[in-house]
Structure 1
Amino acid sequence: MKNDLFSPIQLGDLTLNNRIVMPPMTRSRAKNGCANAMMAEYYAQRAEAGLIISEGTQISQLGQGYAWTPGIYTPDQIQGWKLVTDAVHAKGGKIFAQLWHVGRVTHPSNTGGIQPISSSEQAAKNVTVFIDEANQPNFVDTVLPRAMTQDDIEHVKAEFHQAALNALEAGFDGVELHAANGYLVNQFIDSEANLRDDEYGGSTENRLRFLGEVVDQLVAVVGKDRVGVRLAPFTCLNGTIDSDPDTTYIEAAKLLNSKGIAYIHIAEVDWDDAPDTPESFKKNLRKAFDQTIILAGKYNPEKAQLALEQGYADMVAFGRPFISNPDLVSRIKHQYPLTAHNPETLFGGDEKGLTDYATYQ
């Protein structure tokens, strides 16, 4: 079968060994904000994936939403990520950096005491983030952000530009823009989070403007063949809701198609009782975007294979299964049973629950 999970695929100018993706998953093991040897081992263990996308990596301190997540804006952080990319490449893997600015989804404890920024002066309601309180995680409510000025917008675009340069220096094969799950770019896209009345607010075209301009910054550095974008049309995470997600996100796909980027990565709703992404949306997405589409959320091998055969996806990401199955690609290929993850060790801590999951014997 030509498009099975194990057939190679061309992603831009990269040839990937299979169509199984390890998506970005926050693990909060970077106590000093730098990727480290423990994280390098974790990613290298999973280098069988056709593509690894790193955990969300903040482009500035103001872009940090949670304690102990890694950044990519200082020389030490670049060197930390070089440990990771060298380890993945030594195993024959490919890895993109997910570039992240959380916008309003944070607390001054994580931003050096600075008030967060967003598209609008509107807090993320009923959203908590975790902070480091005397080396222990503590969940606190987000705070009211200030609306970004034009100078702020230009400054953040420049930070994304620099982060892409830093990702290349760190040895990443490409970058993915985190425009999903209620973070900063998503706060511009979704109508209920964007209350602006300038050229960045109001119409769908205006709300997508910041997305397009940030993508232009990344393409200018790494080239369109090495840029992906993650979107979450229907998740409503972290307080962002769009009044017409079908229209908004098909228009986003058309915009990204015009930029010629390598892929769109759709984060689908993945909690147990949530509805599936409408099939009509997947059909329209396929018509709107010519390059690679990655789908993520609630996929098992059978459902993933069906998505490939239907043409809705070119690659499929498996999140939690990759946490507890470092050899997930082999397990799927040989139909070996999967190990369940321990939810108690997802965030923070040490090697336990990160690098100590066994391969199948």
Structure 2
Amino acid sequence: MAITTNKFPHLAGSTQLGALTIRNKTIMASLTRNRSVPTTIPNDVNVEYYTQRAKESGAGLILSEGTLIAQQGTEWPHAPGIWDEEHAAGWKKVTDAVHAEGNQIVAQLWHTGRVCHTDMDEQKKSGDPVWGPSNVPARGGEGTFRHLPGKPGHIVPTALPDPTYVLDQYTHAAKMAKLAGFDGVEIHSANGYLIDQFLSDIANIRTDKWGGSVENRIRFGLEAVKRAIDVWGADRVGIKLSPGGGYNDAYNSTKEGRIETFKAYITELDTLGLAYIQLSNYNEWGDPKHGGVPQGYALDMISTFGDLLKNTKFIVNGDYTAESAEKVLAETHAEAVVFGRAYIGNPDFYQRVQEGTPLNEDVMQLYYGGKDGDIRAGYTDYPFSPEVFAN
């Protein structure tokens, strides 16, 4: 069904992100949904989910859920991987379906680093320890690994002896993403996962070329991006950042130090000719607040970092509504807005907001998995608006 009403004109219309032409300025965020059962390979229900949100009534561009570049014992059982040809074949069914709807999909390449657990099944199968930049654990996290006896929290990671071991995994995953038919890749450099851990002067206490100075701490993330560029070309590579920190105990010793680190990082990323840089706002709900003290910083992402971007477009993420997204597009040089939870329960989110159709509410009740063995529940069973459904 053609969308004839543009209640939010700045969200409407196509735009260009590197080699990617997107048909509207609402981007579907990476949303971990725990549905790649029985293992980590995308299945037919995953195909259905992405197809629903790829339709004309939905996202202008889809960012895949976090896709693991190697077997890791994450808190997310049944998160998908992209580390071999079997995973690529599973993802190919998804990308073919998205392309059949005239849409595009980018693979978010993800390594969770120290926030894994050695006793999770995938970690045991991998034969690797839980890697971190240093043997510094994330604090707290009690109950994080709810599928293990006692629901433990974070453990002490093993310091990567040679970070090129994981950089090689980024290269291989980027190649598998190309084999899978994705339209590009996004490096996940946010939310306290491995690259963000290297950026922190708390999680990263290395004394070699990968730690210490700001220049050294940003090196790993830059090299991961360059590995993706070698496979895809810069105009099909994006990156996600969360400079405010907080989530997964991601923080620097001072606010000033975190700002300095990310200013240096963003300045270097801007020279690479990337398709986009995604700036995620600080979310208070995701901050562990050890001792009641927030670990992140409620920075204004656009005013703090936006002017550093001379060669690269940026997109923004973080609890936006259609109204606040329209405002940020009208008043800043952000290129598009990334929506997360809105796309969980509203596969036709774009059409709903443009035509003033109420949104499906209560979308988080089954966020971490299905119900009574039904993986479609809370995943592909959210209704389209009547106008869309009838067509």
Whether the 8 Å contact between 1:58 and 1:64 is mirrored in structure 2 is no
CA displacement at 1:236 relative to structure 2: 1.2
Whether the 8 Å contact between 1:28 and 1:347 is mirrored in structure 2 is yes
Whether the 8 Å contact between 1:342 and 1:353 is mirrored in structure 2 is yes
**2: CA distance between counterparts of 1:276 and 1:107?**
27
Matches within 5 A, 1:1-361: 4-31=10-37, 32-47=39-54, 48-62=58-72, 64-110=74-120, 111-112=123-124, 114-127=128-141, 128-130=143-145, 132=147, 139-150=151-162, 153-242=163-252, 243=254, 244-271=257-284, 277-279=298-300, 281-289=301-309, 290-349=311-370, 350-361=375-386
Whether the 8 Å contact between 2:247 and 2:286 is mirrored in structure 1 is no
CA displacement at 1:352 relative to structure 2: 0.3
Identity of aligned pairs, percent?
Answer: 37
**1: CA distance between counterparts of 2:158 and 2:297?**
35
Deviating beyond 4 angstroms after TM superposition, the runs of 4 or more aligned structure 1 residues are 271-277
Q: Which amino acid aligns with 1:10?
A: Q
TM-score (structure 2 length as normaliser): 0.86
**1: CA distance between counterparts of 2:299 and 2:369?**
35
Deviations 1:177-219 (A, max 9, x none): 0110111010001222111111111111111000111111000
**1: CA distance between counterparts of 2:285 and 2:224?**
33
**1: CA distance between counterparts of 2:209 and 2:286?**
38
CA displacement at 1:284 relative to structure 2: 4.0
Q: Secondary structure at the match of 1:86?
A: helix
Whether the 8 Å contact between 1:42 and 1:355 is mirrored in structure 2 is yes
Whether the 8 Å contact between 1:9 and 1:17 is mirrored in structure 2 is yes
Q: Secondary structure at the match of 2:16?
A: strand
Whether the 8 Å contact between 2:75 and 2:116 is mirrored in structure 1 is yes
Where in structure 2 are there 5+ consecutive unaligned residues?
1-5, 288-295, 387-391
- How many residues are paired up? 355
CA displacement at 1:312 relative to structure 2: 4.3
Whether the 8 Å contact between 2:263 and 2:308 is mirrored in structure 1 is yes
Whether the 8 Å contact between 2:344 and 2:363 is mirrored in structure 1 is no
**1: CA distance between counterparts of 2:174 and 2:115?**
22
Q: Which amino acid aligns with 1:219?
A: I
CA displacement at 1:271 relative to structure 2: 4.2
Whether the 8 Å contact between 1:320 and 1:341 is mirrored in structure 2 is no
Whether the 8 Å contact between 1:64 and 1:101 is mirrored in structure 2 is no
Q: Which amino acid aligns with 1:17?
A: R
CA displacement at 1:245 relative to structure 2: 2.3
**1: CA distance between counterparts of 2:279 and 2:170?**
21
**2: CA distance between counterparts of 1:101 and 1:273?**
19
**2: CA distance between counterparts of 1:39 and 1:273?**
26
Whether the 8 Å contact between 1:294 and 1:317 is mirrored in structure 2 is yes
Q: Which amino acid aligns with 2:346?
A: N
Q: Secondary structure at the match of 2:198?
A: helix
Name whichever of 95-104 and 247-256 sits farther off: 247-256
Whether the 8 Å contact between 2:130 and 2:157 is mirrored in structure 1 is yes
Q: Secondary structure at the match of 2:112?
A: coil
Whether the 8 Å contact between 1:66 and 1:129 is mirrored in structure 2 is no
TM-score (structure 1 length as normaliser): 0.93
Q: Secondary structure at the match of 1:304?
A: helix
Q: Which amino acid aligns with 1:115?
A: P
**1: CA distance between counterparts of 2:211 and 2:364?**
39
Where in structure 1 are there 5+ consecutive unaligned residues?
none
Whether the 8 Å contact between 1:188 and 1:207 is mirrored in structure 2 is yes
Change (3 A) 1:237 1:276: closer
**1: CA distance between counterparts of 2:175 and 2:217?**
26
RMSD of aligned C-alpha atoms? 2.2
Name whichever of 5-14 and 161-170 sits farther off: 5-14
Q: Secondary structure at the match of 1:49?
A: coil
